[in-house]
């Protein structure tokens, strides 16, 4: 990289950091103003809230607005360069427009890699801190309870089980049953009055067990006071709340998607969209970086104001496309991988169109 590349690259990164600090501070202030009554009702100190909530909230809001931060920072500093005629001077010196975009591409790739790594590991851990606090102190009582009723799942290709009532807090339930099929007929049935998770042995403890095996000569029935089984699920798999997908690391989320597919569960598209989006969003950062650089590199009447207005309009369209594709996947039949990557494809074509039209 030459001096001009480092000049643009450092300006890009410093402006990005400035945007993050500014918008994060604004987001925290707005969030505090909305939740002050909840903090006061729960009699929480400022230190407790900062340690147990905003430590998780800040990474969440940064990752959520990361592409927008990148887009605004690129438009802001590139427009400033254009207004000072520095872009014109660079191009007039013989530097091609493609060469001018090199530091932007490198900066976009660096930020995209940072977001990709954060979305896979760090941000889910932060979301766990944030959501646990919200469930305990912010959500309305009973809005997200610990109780799940009528759980039903497939353990493997031939075995199904269900729990009539399950408490995620105590990791215990009642009305457990398990059926194993032989073709279209039930060959094995097990029922238990209660089911509890044994933390020491990492197995499920069943109480009041009645086991039935259907054989050619008749039915064999056994009864046990207690029995421990190594079933193909753990207590974390039985939790059902709107935050579960954001609290899982990518490997945990991938495992959950595979398990839910095996069980034949409904609503898997929501989990799959989240899984694919964790790879698609970093690419969004690169696309928006290029769009911002191409738009703002042209010196126009109105200066940065026009560039920022155009930038916000494009960002709003991107968010709109993203939400529509998600809804069509979760509520309709749009494949999750297409829902996650469709906005990138559309705005990738827009990037190519703007690049072809850009004065060079």
Question: Is pLDDT above 80 for 32?
Answer: yes
Q: Phi, psi at residue 19, to the nearest 5°?
A: -65, -40
Each residue of 317-328: pLDDT tens digit?
888 888 888 888
When pLDDT is averaged across residues 229-238 and rounded to a whole number, the result is 80
Cα separations in angstroms, 65 against 21, 54, 74, 284, 318: 12, 16, 14, 12, 13
Quote the pLDDT of residue 266: 65
Each residue of 116-164: pLDDT tens digit?
999 998 999 999 899 888 878 876 544 444 556 678 777 777 888 888 8
When pLDDT is averaged across residues 22-33 and rounded to a whole number, the result is 91
Q: Which of 114, 98, 87, 117 is nearest to 7 (CA)?
A: 87
Cα–Cα distance for residue pair 232/256, rounded to 1 Å:
12
The more confident residue out of 298 and 180 is 180
Each residue of 237-294: pLDDT tens digit?
777 666 778 888 888 888 888 877 776 666 688 888 889 999 999 999 999 999 988 8
Quote the pLDDT of residue 142: 43
When pLDDT is averaged across residues 65-85 and rounded to a whole number, the result is 86
Each residue of 181-216: pLDDT tens digit?
888 788 899 999 999 998 888 889 999 999 998 877
- Which tokens sit at 148? 């799940």
Q: Which of 14-18, 50-54, 84-88, 198-202 has the lowest mean pLDDT?
A: 84-88
Q: Which of 91, 76, 104 is nearest to 306 (CA)?
A: 76
Quote the pLDDT of residue 140: 52
Quote the pLDDT of residue 314: 82
When pLDDT is averaged across residues 7-28 and rounded to a whole number, the result is 90
Quote the pLDDT of residue 247: 86
Quote the pLDDT of residue 285: 93
Question: Is pLDDT above 90 for 235?
Answer: no
Quote the pLDDT of residue 111: 94
Cα–Cα distance for residue pair 319/317, rounded to 1 Å:
5
Each residue of 2-12: pLDDT tens digit?
788 888 889 89
């Amino acid at each position: 990289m030459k001096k001009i590349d480092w000049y643009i690259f450092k300006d890009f990164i410093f402006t990005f950091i400035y945007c993050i600090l500014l918008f994060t501070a604004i987001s925290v202030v707005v969030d505090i103003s909305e939740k002050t009554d909840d903090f006061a009702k729960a009699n929480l100190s400022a230190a407790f809230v900062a340690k147990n909530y905003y430590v998780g909230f800040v990474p969440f809001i940064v990752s959520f607005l990361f592409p927008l931060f990148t887009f605004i920072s690129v438009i802001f500093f590139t427009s400033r360069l254009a207004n000072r005629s520095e872009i014109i001077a660079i191009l007039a010196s013989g530097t091609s427009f493609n060469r001018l975009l090199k530091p932007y591409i490198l900066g976009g790739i660096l930020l995209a890699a940072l977001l990709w790594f954060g979305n896979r590991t760090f941000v889910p851990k932060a979301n766990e801190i944030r959501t646990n606090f919200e469930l305990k102190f912010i959500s309305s009582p009973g809005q997200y309870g610990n109780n799940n009723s009528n759980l039903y799942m497939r353990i493997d290709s031939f075995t199904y089980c269900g729990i009539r009532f399950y408490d995620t807090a105590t990791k215990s339930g009642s009305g457990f049953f398990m059926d194993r099929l032989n073709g279209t007929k039930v060959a094995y049935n097990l029922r238990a009055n209660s089911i509890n998770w044994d933390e020491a042995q990492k197995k499920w403890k069943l109480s009041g067990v009645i086991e039935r095996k259907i054989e050619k000569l008749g039915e064999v029935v056994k009864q046990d006071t207690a029995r421990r089984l190594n079933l193909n699920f753990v207590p974390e798999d039985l939790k059902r709340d709107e935050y579960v997908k954001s609290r899982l690391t990518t490997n945990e989320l991938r495992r959950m998607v595979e398990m839910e597919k095996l069980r034949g569960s409904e609503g898997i598209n929501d989990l799959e969209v989240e899984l694919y989006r964790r790879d698609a969003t970093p690419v969004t950062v690169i696309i928006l970086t290029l769009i911002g650089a191409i738009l703002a590199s042209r010196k126009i009447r109105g200066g940065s104001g026009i560039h920022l207005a155009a930038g916000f309009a494009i960002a709003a369209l991107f968010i709109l496309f993203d939400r529509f594709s998600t809804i069509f996947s979760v509520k309709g039949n749009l494949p999750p991988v297409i829902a996650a990557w469709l906005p990138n494809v559309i705005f990738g074509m827009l990037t190519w169109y703007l690049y072809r039209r850009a004065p060079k």
